[in-house]
Amino acid sequence: MESTGGKTPHREPRRAPFTRLRGQSVRPSRCGEFEAFRPPAPCLARVERGDRRHPDTAFPRVPGCDPETSFVPWRAVSELLAEPFLATLPCSTASCVPTMVRNVLASVLLGGALVAGLHAQTATANPQHPAKSVESVRPLKSVKEDAARLDAVLDRGLQRRSQTALPLTDDATFLRRAYLTIVGRIPTLAETETFLADQNPDKRDVLCDQLLDSPGHTSHFANFWFDQLRVKSRIQDISGEPFADYLRSSIQQDKPYDQLVHEMLVATGPGHQQGNGATGMLLRDKNMPHDAMANALRLFLGTRLECAQCHNHPFDIWTQKQFFEMAAFFGGLRYRDESTLPNLVGLRTELAGLDDRTRQRALNLVRRNNQGLEGSGSGVERLPRDYKYEDLKPGTAVLANTLFGADVKLKYPEQKKGEPQRPRRDQRPQPGAAGIDSRGALADWMTSKKNPQFAKVIANRMWARTFGAGVVEPLDDFKKDTEPVHPELMVQIEKLMVDLDFDLRQFERVLVHTKLFQRESPAGDADADAVFTFQGPMLRRMTAEQTWDSLLTLVFADIDERLRPPDARAQQVYQQFAEFANADAKDLIALAQNDQPMRAQQQQQRQREEMRQQVAADAELEKKAAPLRRQLNQARRNGDQKQVAAIAEELQRLGVPLGQRAARGREGDLLRASDLQQPAPPNHLLRQFGQSTRETVDGASTVATVPQVMTLLNGFLDQRVLEGQSALRASLDTAQNGERRVRIAFLTTLNREPTATETQEWRRAIAIDGDAVVKDLVWVLCNSNEFRFVR
Partner 1 sequence: MTLPDLIAGTDIQGRRTFLTRMASSLLGVGAAAAFGPEAVARALAQDPAPPLVLGRATAKNVIYLFLRGGMSHLDTLDPKPGKETQGPVEALRTRADGVLLGQYFPKVAEQMDKVCIVSSMSSKQGAHPQAQYLMRTSYELRGTIQHPSLGAWCQRLAGRNNKMLPGHVLIGGGAEMPSAGFFPPDFQALPIGSAEDGLQNATLPRGVDNERFERRLARLKQLDSAFAEKHGQRSVQAYSKAYTEAVRLMRSSDLVAFDIELEPKSMQQAYGETPFGAGCLLARRLVEHGVRYVEVMSDGWDTHADNFDRLGDLTPAIDQGLAALLADLDARGLLRETLVVLATEFGRTPDIDQDQGRNHYPKAFSCLLAGGGVRGGQRYGSTDAEGREVATEPVSIQDFNATIAHAVGLPLDYVITSPSGRPFKVADKGSPITSIFS
Whole-number minimum distance, CB 710 to partner 1, in Å?
A: 4
Q: Give backbone dihedrals phi and psi of 373, rounded to 5 degrees, phi first.
A: -125, 140
Question: Contacting partner 1 (CB under 8 A), which of 194, 401, 714, 759?
Answer: 714
Inter-helix orientation angle 738-749/189-197, to 10°: 90
Whole-number minimum distance, CB 488 to partner 1, in Å?
A: 14
Site for partner 1 in 719-738 (CB under 8 A): 719
* Calpha distance 435→333 (Å, rounded): 12
Site string for partner 1, 102-121 (x = CB under 8 A): --------------------
Stretch that binds partner 1, among 204-212, 242-250, 381-389, 631-639 (CB under 8 A): 631-639
Is 791 a binding residue for partner 1 by CB under 8 A? The answer is yes
Whole-number minimum distance, CB 455 to partner 1, in Å?
A: 22
Question: Contacting partner 1 (CB under 8 A), which of 61, 382, 636, 729?
Answer: 636
CB 267 within 8 A of CB 279: yes
Is 317 a binding residue for partner 1 by CB under 8 A? The answer is no
Is the alpha carbon torsion for 256, 262, 263, 264 positive or negative? Answer: positive
Site for partner 1 in 50-69 (CB under 8 A): none
Whole-number minimum distance, CB 679 to partner 1, in Å?
A: 9
* Calpha distance 363→384 (Å, rounded): 33
Is 695 a binding residue for partner 1 by CB under 8 A? The answer is yes
CB 768 within 8 A of CB 780: no
Site for partner 1 in 358-387 (CB under 8 A): 360
Is 541 a binding residue for partner 1 by CB under 8 A? The answer is yes
Whole-number minimum distance, CB 319 to partner 1, in Å?
A: 17
Task: Tell me whether residue 4 or residue 614 sits nearer to partner 1 (CB atom).
Answer: 614
Is the alpha carbon torsion for 482, 483, 484, 485 positive or negative? Answer: negative
Angle value at C-alpha 666, between 661 and 667, nearest 5 degrees: 150
Burial class (CB in 10 A: 0-12, 13-18, 19+), 9: exposed
Is 265 a binding residue for partner 1 by CB under 8 A? The answer is no
In whole angstroms, what separates CA 716 from the centre of its chain?
24
Whole-number minimum distance, CB 707 to partner 1, in Å?
A: 7
Is 683 a binding residue for partner 1 by CB under 8 A? The answer is yes
Is 155 a binding residue for partner 1 by CB under 8 A? The answer is no
Task: Tell me whether residue 26 or residue 299 sits nearer to partner 1 (CB atom).
Answer: 299
Task: Tell me whether residue 92 or residue 683 sits nearer to partner 1 (CB atom).
Answer: 683
Task: Tell me whether residue 205 or residue 753 sits nearer to partner 1 (CB atom).
Answer: 753
Is 194 a binding residue for partner 1 by CB under 8 A? The answer is no
Task: Tell me whether residue 116 or residue 288 sits nearer to partner 1 (CB atom).
Answer: 288
Is 780 a binding residue for partner 1 by CB under 8 A? The answer is yes
In whole angstroms, what separates CA 514 from the centre of its chain?
23
Range list of H helices, 734-784:
738-749, 756-769, 771-783
Question: Contacting partner 1 (CB under 8 A), which of 699, 739, 759, 763?
Answer: 699
Q: What is the dihedral of CA 525, 528, 529, 534, to 10 degrees?
A: 0
Task: Tell me whether residue 160 or residue 606 sits nearer to partner 1 (CB atom).
Answer: 606
* Calpha distance 791→784 (Å, rounded): 13
Question: Contacting partner 1 (CB under 8 A), which of 31, 97, 168, 307?
Answer: 307
Taking residue 543's Cβ as centre, other Cβ atoms within 10 Å add up to: 26
Burial class (CB in 10 A: 0-12, 13-18, 19+), 785: exposed
Is 614 a binding residue for partner 1 by CB under 8 A? The answer is no
Question: Contacting partner 1 (CB under 8 A), which of 181, 225, 718, 732?
Answer: 718
CB 387 within 8 A of CB 394: yes
Tell me which amino acid residue 424 is: R
Question: Contacting partner 1 (CB under 8 A), which of 27, 203, 672, 788?
Answer: 788
Site for partner 1 in 467-506 (CB under 8 A): 473, 477, 481, 483-485
Q: Is the bond into 474 cis (omega within 30 degrees of 0)?
A: yes
Is 1 a binding residue for partner 1 by CB under 8 A? The answer is no
